[in-house]
Structures are given as C-alpha cells and as structure tokens.
Amino acid sequence: MTPARTVDLRLHAVDDLLCRVERYLQVSLDRGSLVRKRRSVGAATERGTWVRIERRPASRVGTQGWNGAETAAALTGISMPEWFAGVSWREGDEVVWRADETSLLPDAPVQAGTLTVRPDLPEEWWKQLSASLDALAVQSTSRVATPDTVTITQVRVSEAIRRTFSSTFDTTISMWVPAHADLNWANVTAPSCCLFDWEDWGMAPLGLDSASLWANSLAVPDLAERVWAERRRDLESRDGLLMAMFCLGKIVGDYADPADPKLRPAEQAAARIVGELVDH
C-alpha cells in the first residue's frame, strides 16, 4: 500500500469535504463555527449538534475498524458527549475519512496546545474526572487503544521506554483496562468535565490516561501535583509508573523541544520515577 500523503487540514481546502458530510449525514454545517486541526475539522449543525470529521491513513485504521466514537456510546457512567450518527468512506487506497455527529460540548475545552497557566477547575470538576476514569476502567471491550493513532502493545511500551531511558528495570505491564487513550487538556472541558474525541479508546495499560493528563500538566507544577494526587491509585502502581515513563518519553525523547516548558520538569520527573521503578 502506498503511504498516504500528509495533509494538514488547517491549511487544506475543506469546502468539498463539508458538503459531502452534509449530504451523508443530512445536516447543515455552520461554517462560522468551524474548528480546524491538523487531522480533523468540526462544526456545529443547524439542529444543535456537533460534527467532527477526521482523516487518517488507511494503514492506521487497523483490523478493529474505525468507529471509536460510535462504540464509546455503549460506555456508562462517564461524562462524555452523546453519539447520534456516523459515516466513513475511503479515498483511494491510502486514506479513510470518518464523520461523527454528537451532542454539543457543555463547555469549552480547557486548553489547546501546551498549558502554561493553571485553569480554574472547581472541586466538582475533579470529582467528575475521577468518577469518569474509574467508571471507564471497569468496563470491557475488545478494542485496543491507539494513542497517537498507533496500537499500543507490550512491545511498543517496552521499546519506547528503553529507547529513551535505557532502562534496566522490568517494563512488563500486568494490568490492561479500557482507556480514552488521548486524554489531554484539549480533549476535556471545564468548568463541567466532559471527555471527548473517543476515536482512539480501547484496552491499554493501567494508568495511561492519568499519566497522559499528568505529563501534559508539567509546565504548571501545582496542576501536575494535583493530577497526581487525584489519580494516585493509578499512577503509583507499577503499571502507572511505567505509563508515566511512556508519556514522559514523548517529551524528553528523540523529538524533545528545548523551548518546551514541560521539558525540564519531565526530565526531573523521569529521574525520580526511574529510581522508584528500580526499587519497586
């Protein structure tokens, strides 16, 4: 299969794409509400819903299909948008598109990009977050999570940690549970806590979501400390510590950005956690 050409939807013309989705889902999209990201676009509809459209290489869709938002609709006890309809189609042999219609978010996402100022999150928000993550972890699915659109496996975890940290400790995961797999401050709302963008959810090592949100908080030390405190049960397990190292590797690894305000805190955290894993 020929690799799909890289397309940045923030720069790519999307008028024809939007018209196609309108035909498929029988909706009218509000162009004035359009939100454009690197691989997805979204817009409100005339019936008070939201449509998210994503482009992926066909090679990243995998054998489980590409219906994360649809299958997540069966989950219970989680603060998340309601799913109404979806459609997917191929573009040649290399690209697959997916559009999902859901309820509108209750509030705006906390932050797109690197968070550098602590958001004002009420105590109820933290309760909703933990309740949602705890409810998710006890459900069941045959899906396997695809963080960064790549299937997570024991081999991937071990190789990622060893490549970045030259680890001498055991990287074997002992517990796998359902996870959102893309939990960051751009995919959760406030002041009401609502987790969205469920395209990559599935079974993953215990602690992946907590570690991801924590690592994305490192530029704001007291926020990172609060995430760790709230999700201590996950993060201080051996699997959780391994997931923390897995997420830190994305900050301090081969593509580390010297200007990233998370870099120095990540290096310090990695040194601490390595010691804990060796002694664990």
Task: Give one DSSP letter per residue of 95-139, joined into a string.
Answer: EEEEEEEEEPPSS-BS-SS---S-----HHHHHHHHHHHHHHHTS
Structure tokens at 77: 């006890």
Instruction: Give residue-wise pLDDT tens across range 161-179.
Output: 999 997 789 999 999 999 9
Q: How many CA atoms lie within 13 A of 247 on its CB side?
A: 31
Nearest to 238 by CA among 119, 163, 157: 157
Q: How many CA atoms lie within 13 A of 59 on its CB side?
A: 6
Q: Average pLDDT in the 152-159 region? A: 97
The arrangement of secondary structure in 123-279, i.e. its CATH architecture, is Alpha-Beta Complex (3.90)
Q: What is the pTM of this model?
A: 0.92
Q: What is residue 255's predicted lDDT score, i.e. its pLDDT?
A: 87
136 with 78: CB under 8 angstroms? Answer: yes
Report the SS3 class of residue 91. strand
List beta partners, residue 236: none
Q: Which residue has the higher pLDDT, 181 or 255?
A: 181
Q: Average pLDDT in the 24-42 region? A: 95
Nearest to 69 by CA among 111, 32, 30, 40: 40
Lowest average pLDDT, out of 77-86, 90-99, 187-196, 200-209, goes to 90-99
Question: In the chain, what percentage of residues exceed pLDDT 70?
Answer: 96
Q: What is the mean pLDDT of the chain?
A: 94
Query: Residue 155: which H helix or E strand, with range?
Result: helix 154-165
168: burial class by Cβ within 10 Å (0-12, 13-18, 19+)? exposed
Which amino acid, one-letter code, is at 180? H
Residue 178 phi, psi (nearest 5) = -60, 140
Nearest to 147 by CA among 101, 76, 228, 207: 207
Separation CA 216–CA 203 (nearest Å):
21
Class assignment of domain 15-103?
alpha beta
List the chain domain ranges. 15-103, 123-279
253 with 164: CB under 8 angstroms? Answer: yes
Nearest to 67 by CA among 47, 85, 50: 85
Instruction: Give residue-wise pLDDT tens across range 200-228.
Output: 999 999 999 999 999 999 999 999 999 99
Q: Measuring CA to CA, how many Å separate 173 from each of 119, 205, 207?
A: 33, 6, 11
Q: Average pLDDT in the 23-36 region? A: 96
1 has pLDDT over 50: no
Positive/negative CA dihedral, 128, 129, 135, 141: positive
